[in-house]
Structure 1
Amino acid sequence: MKKILIAAAVIATGAAGYWVSQDMGSNGEQNAILTYVPADTPVFSGQLTPFPIKAYINSVAQSYQNYPDDMFAELEESDDARAKFMLSLTQTYMESLESGDKFISTFGLPEQMRSYFYSLGLLPVVKLEVEKPDAIWAVLDKAEKESGFTHEKKSIKGQEYRAYTLTDPGEPEAISLLFSISKGILTVTLDSAFNQPETVATALGLAPVTNSLADSGILQDIMKTHGFNGDGIGYINHQELIKAITTTDGNQLARQLTALAELEGEDPFAIVRSNECHTELSAMAANWPRTVFGVSNVSISDTQSHMELATIVESKNQVMLDALSSMRGFIPEYIRNNNDSVFSMGLGIDVSQLVPALTSIWDDMLTPQYQCVVLQEVQEEMSGQSPAMLGMFTGMVNGVKGVAVSLIGYKFSDDQDNPALDSLDAIISLSTENPSMLFNMLKPFAPELADIQLADGGEAVDLSYLLPLPPEFAIKPMMAVKGDHLVIYTGKVGEEKANDLANEALSNNGLFSLAVDYGKMLTPVITFAEMSGEPLPEELLMMEDYNMQAKMGIDINPTGIIFDSIVDSKVTVTTK
């Protein structure tokens, strides 16, 4: 039983991840699907306006056309009909990603479609628009034929659906995977022994809920609070999750967990199902009510796609927000607004504020006199430690605001007889209030640097003698102080970035930023390997046609902790 629950959770998580990643729309209108979504759903993600699925698949198809030969090895070796069924479905899906036309024709989808993911308590529900239902049934029929895993045809309130039993024969707590199509909407969900009788009807869109998401104002509140433009929206409700584990009937999820515990004969949440734990954990959840996500900008065509998304862990705990905000450090311009590098990463931490901020957070967590046993144990564990000890290690580097690194570009020579690194542009910077003094303080720990003297605006120092690199590698690392920044760079462009830093004053402008250009990263390596005749790992060859850029960042604002990301994908025109 537990194995099946784990499998079901994996399926649900995979479905959630896929549909969340595709969230592309909401125009603020009350959507009919939302009347079947309970307001106390722990998770929701919705494409409420049509998303150009055909064009999107065309723009990213190259990234999915290759996959490892052993990707499905475990499923292929299994004699279990259920595993073979899932194998067939997965292979059909991967093969359909060849093009947008093939994808929508395989699954009978419209060129533009809406989709939804949410849960009825514990049970996941996926809904998406379909144009040709027969295509879905054909995919399932093919999987049945190839696996020998068959369905049972059922109906409820006149609506037929397929039920595939996931549990072993004879198990009393049967779990089934359901497929139903009605009024152009495909529903995929689960049925189980701990369901209420009306749950399946609600999942299939046959029984609207009393207190629905459509009437709750939750989505409108999220858009208003976080400035999402409505192109995509979703959330995880922490308060409903806490209610589910600390009560027996506080919401639908709580009732299902209680029923499941009765079937299993043990309740894993018994330790927190007390009045004290419910009150105290609920108060914590009220301070961190939701994780929300939304789309701020989308542009999709057959040749490229651009998506800007944000995820925010909401917080009303002003003490923690102030502490986290005080830790923000400096991230240079060549990291924040750079679209030309192969790879770049910046970590902004104001070291002088690190210990005070962590101490403030620590004290805030230890201040309440909890009655809940679990929280008492956590406090006891924390009380034996203290972030103040970090002061011993951070004292020497007080004044440091951040560190950043960027691999701007590199190229190998085209000499097939003697392939070598022809050029490298890169920069590493340490931003601090007095870089020269910090460098002098660190020299005793690196005797080879003892004779180097650095001053702001002074001559850059050649570090080649410290790096035992082959002479055919055209790398000449230079060290210098540029304003408030200690830099090491190589290459002409690296030098330009270093000189630009001289005009950048320190400011607390962020926590973390990371950017990767997969095409620029992999193309020179693959070309070099082909010239030298060296074999490449299969995983690397799979990414040969990747033309994708990704950027993500972490920051703090008055509403919570922000994780933002930008993903660009373009079709690569090959001459092979």
Structure 2
Amino acid sequence: MNPKKLKVLSLVLASLLFISCDKPEKPAEKKIELPKPASMLTLVPDDTIFFAGGLEPVPLKEWTQWSITHFNLSKEMFNPQEIQKLREEAKTDGQRLALQIWEDYLATLLALDTQFASWGFAEKPQLASYAIGLAPVLLRINLQDVQRFNTKIAELEEKAKVKAKVETLGTATFRRYALNEQEPLAHLIIGVDGNDAVFMIDVGIESQQTLALALGQSKPEKSLAQGNRLKSLQENYKLLASSLVYLDHQQILTGLTTKDGNRMAKMVQQLASKLKEENKGWLNELHSEGCRKDLQTMGANWPQTVFGYTAFDVKAKPSKVDALMVVESKDKPLLEGLKSLRGFVPYYSKEAVFAPAVFSFGLGLSVENVGPFLMKQWTEITQKQYSCSFLKEMQTDLQAKNPAAVGFATSMASGVRGLSLSLLSLSLEKKEGMATPMPKELEAVVSLSAKDPAALVQTVAAMVPQLATLQIPADGTPVQLPLPMPLPFTPMAAINGSHLTVYAGAKAEQLAKEMGKMSLESSQGFLASSLDYGKYYGLIGDVVASVDKKEGQQQATPQMLSMFEAMKQAKVRVQTKLDFTERGLEMTMDMTSPE
């Protein structure tokens, strides 16, 4: 499939998976008779390579409304010109309908009260996304009104100028729309199975079997409902029961390295039979004993990626939405090495407890451990006995890239534990004759945390002639920082405890002094950031709006300015953290809103 067609297909994937992956938890109400949660899981094959769904129904409309309100979504944020361009490039009914679904999805976001009901979805549905081998079931979702859903699809067909015959399979009905023009033919399938709507992609391999499974007319040999996987994920990671997502690395590798280890492997075999002989080499190599053993060993060390919400309280003041993603690892030596890289991340990068910033960022890094860590990993990889030719080639490439030079470079910054910055406020001023605005007022702090910040200052001063005369007392006394150009504010530098701070503004000065009370061991981590959406995009919008015309063309379009103006009203702070733990690579995202 060419790139243009893939772009079109990605739109419908994004719109449908968005609904299935982002969902909060709220106790199920008894006003609407819904199928028991387990009933949908009985249709999900145990060997699916991914799953997004839950053990309980989700208040879909309520969550969507929260997102629209607090991120202040508006029509200016969407680009109709891009949709029109894709529409002109669309060559098949499936591509045209996918675009129409995407356009209607955006319209639904902008008029949720009236448009949500037009789809016939239950307000608190059970839903799921998963795979039947290589065929993705983009969304299976409970319907409140089957007739309304069928009417919606007919309306979308009319708008997209496509028409599909309503076909029957057992007790289910479905429509088929071609997505490409070459073999194997892929189709977008939109069907109804009882009180469920089903969106899937038939990839043209084992079509009858996958269609029967997707539309609930046959059951998998073993389903997700028969095991305890979802319950274990919920309990182990403290996820909401309505929000459980995973990507199974081991099932993917089984599908690539075996001929019949799972349904994906069997479908890959059938796909390979359609390839020219000269294009089968990579698959034959993956099926070799060496590659199978090497890659499945890697899969055992990195078995899955898990995602889900840990909190979704949209009625609280402030409202709170927390999410967790973990790339699981069983490679304990590697994790210990990664944890040795962690350093100091100041609290203002992780939580808004002081002067909520426009943007804060912190990198915690024990610099002297970087070289030894890289050297150890390089030695292990280059000396490992691989049997797979792909891995042998990678090994040969790495042997020519000894990381010793990195170790030498980082040794000059020995003792450094982290770097951070926080932008509290910024106002711009545009003077006559200047194409871009310049800072007028600034409240910001940049900090470098180290065991001996005074020694670092001396090292830098010795390397940078312009700073040769710079003397920063170790007792916290601030000094004016020399700059190559005049500014309307005065940057100051001070050593506060274990932290070299450079700041401007009274609030930033207070923040810098507060850091002096923090030891390097008091706030450990790797990466953290905090972003006030409204303030940040308001600032970006001000910069964009003040840029002069260049060569007769305005830099910012009216739509772009309107978009930034709408985003300025967003009332959400997003805080993210990336860290190394005994479970693997963990990323958290916490969203809070005062309203």
Q: What TM-score do you get using the length of structure 1 for normalisation?
A: 0.90
Residue number among 500, 513, 518 corresponding to 2:514 in the alignment? 500
User: CA offsets per residue over residues 149-204 of structure 1, 9 Å max, x none?
Assistant: 22122211132211112233xx5533221111233211111224311532211111
| Segment drifting more, 184-193 vs 363-372 | 363-372
| Segment drifting more, 205-214 vs 15-24 | 15-24
User: CA offsets per residue over residues 512-558 of structure 1, 9 Å max, x none?
Assistant: 01221121123356568879999744435313222132221110111
Residue identity matched to 2:341 = M
Asked if 1 retains the 8 angstrom alpha-carbon contact of 2:351 and 2:575, the reply is no
Using a 3 Å threshold, how does the CA distance of structure 1 residues 18 and 401 change in structure 2: closer, same or farther?
Answer: same
1:539 corresponds in structure 2 to 560
| Segment drifting more, 20-29 vs 296-305 | 20-29
Asked if 1 retains the 8 angstrom alpha-carbon contact of 2:179 and 2:186, the reply is yes
Asked if 2 retains the 8 angstrom alpha-carbon contact of 1:81 and 1:149, the reply is no
Show the 5 A alignment for 1:36-435: 36-61=43-68, 62-66=72-76, 67-78=78-89, 80=91, 82=93, 83-125=95-137, 126-168=139-181, 171=182, 173-195=184-206, 197-265=208-276, 266-267=279-280, 268-301=282-315, 306-338=320-352, 340-411=356-427, 423-435=441-453
1:466 corresponds in structure 2 to 483
Q: Distance in 2 between matches of 1:361 and 1:284?
A: 15
Q: Distance in 1 between matches of 2:530 and 2:465?
A: 34
Percent identity among equivalent residues? 25
1:437 corresponds in structure 2 to 455
Structure 1: give runs of 5+ residues left out of the alignment: 572-576
Using a 3 Å threshold, how does the CA distance of structure 1 residues 334 and 195 change in structure 2: closer, same or farther?
Answer: same
Q: Distance in 2 between matches of 1:263 and 1:120?
A: 20
Using a 3 Å threshold, how does the CA distance of structure 1 residues 70 and 403 change in structure 2: closer, same or farther?
Answer: same
Residue identity matched to 1:368 = K
Using a 3 Å threshold, how does the CA distance of structure 1 residues 379 and 397 change in structure 2: closer, same or farther?
Answer: same
Q: Distance in 2 between matches of 1:338 and 1:228?
A: 24
Using a 3 Å threshold, how does the CA distance of structure 1 residues 407 and 235 change in structure 2: closer, same or farther?
Answer: same
Asked if 2 retains the 8 angstrom alpha-carbon contact of 1:347 and 1:402, the reply is yes
User: CA offsets per residue over residues 94-141 of structure 1, 9 Å max, x none?
Assistant: 112123312312312233223211111111111112212333323322
Asked if 2 retains the 8 angstrom alpha-carbon contact of 1:461 and 1:480, the reply is yes
Residue identity matched to 1:522 = Y
Using a 3 Å threshold, how does the CA distance of structure 1 residues 415 and 106 change in structure 2: closer, same or farther?
Answer: farther
Using a 3 Å threshold, how does the CA distance of structure 1 residues 428 and 210 change in structure 2: closer, same or farther?
Answer: same
Q: Distance in 1 between matches of 2:442 and 2:4?
A: 52
Using a 3 Å threshold, how does the CA distance of structure 1 residues 329 and 20 change in structure 2: closer, same or farther?
Answer: farther
Using a 3 Å threshold, how does the CA distance of structure 1 residues 117 and 569 change in structure 2: closer, same or farther?
Answer: farther
* Residue 486 of structure 1: how far off its partner (Å): 0.5
Asked if 1 retains the 8 angstrom alpha-carbon contact of 2:359 and 2:531, the reply is yes
**1:509 pairs with 2:520:** no
| Segment drifting more, 51-60 vs 508-517 | 51-60
User: CA offsets per residue over residues 397-439 of structure 1, 9 Å max, x none?
Assistant: 00000000110123468999x9985532110000001001111
Using a 3 Å threshold, how does the CA distance of structure 1 residues 196 and 60 change in structure 2: closer, same or farther?
Answer: closer
1:574 corresponds in structure 2 to none
Question: What SS is found at the alignment partner of 1:149?
Answer: coil
Using a 3 Å threshold, how does the CA distance of structure 1 residues 328 and 420 change in structure 2: closer, same or farther?
Answer: closer
Q: Distance in 2 between matches of 1:244 and 1:214?
A: 22
* Residue 375 of structure 1: how far off its partner (Å): 1.5
Using a 3 Å threshold, how does the CA distance of structure 1 residues 314 and 16 change in structure 2: closer, same or farther?
Answer: farther
Would you say how many aligned residue pairs link Structure 1 and Structure 2? 564
Using a 3 Å threshold, how does the CA distance of structure 1 residues 334 and 166 change in structure 2: closer, same or farther?
Answer: closer
Using a 3 Å threshold, how does the CA distance of structure 1 residues 254 and 70 change in structure 2: closer, same or farther?
Answer: same
Q: Distance in 2 between matches of 1:4 and 1:335?
A: 40
User: CA offsets per residue over residues 8-50 of structure 1, 9 Å max, x none?
Assistant: 8635752575146413349999621111111111000114433
Using a 3 Å threshold, how does the CA distance of structure 1 residues 425 and 17 change in structure 2: closer, same or farther?
Answer: farther
Residue identity matched to 2:175 = R
Q: What TM-score do you get using the length of structure 2 for normalisation?
A: 0.87
* Residue 322 of structure 1: how far off its partner (Å): 0.6
Residue identity matched to 1:86 = A
Q: Distance in 2 between matches of 1:361 and 1:296?
A: 34
1:565 corresponds in structure 2 to 589
Residue number among 444, 455, 459 corresponding to 2:473 in the alignment? 455
Structure 2: give runs of 5+ residues left out of the alignment: 29-35
Q: Distance in 2 between matches of 1:516 and 1:564?
A: 14
Question: What SS is found at the alignment partner of 1:118?
Answer: strand
Question: What SS is found at the alignment partner of 2:412?
Answer: helix
| Segment drifting more, 281-290 vs 545-554 | 545-554
Residue identity matched to 2:23 = D
Q: How large is the Cα RMSD of the aligned pairs?
A: 3.0
**1:23 pairs with 2:33:** no
**1:35 pairs with 2:42:** yes
Using a 3 Å threshold, how does the CA distance of structure 1 residues 16 and 55 change in structure 2: closer, same or farther?
Answer: closer
Using a 3 Å threshold, how does the CA distance of structure 1 residues 570 and 333 change in structure 2: closer, same or farther?
Answer: closer
Residue identity matched to 1:516 = L
* Residue 254 of structure 1: how far off its partner (Å): 0.7
Question: What SS is found at the alignment partner of 1:152?
Answer: coil
Question: What SS is found at the alignment partner of 1:173?
Answer: coil
Using a 3 Å threshold, how does the CA distance of structure 1 residues 434 and 49 change in structure 2: closer, same or farther?
Answer: same
* Residue 53 of structure 1: how far off its partner (Å): 2.5
Q: Distance in 1 between matches of 2:541 and 2:335?
A: 45
Q: Distance in 2 between matches of 1:558 and 1:48?
A: 27
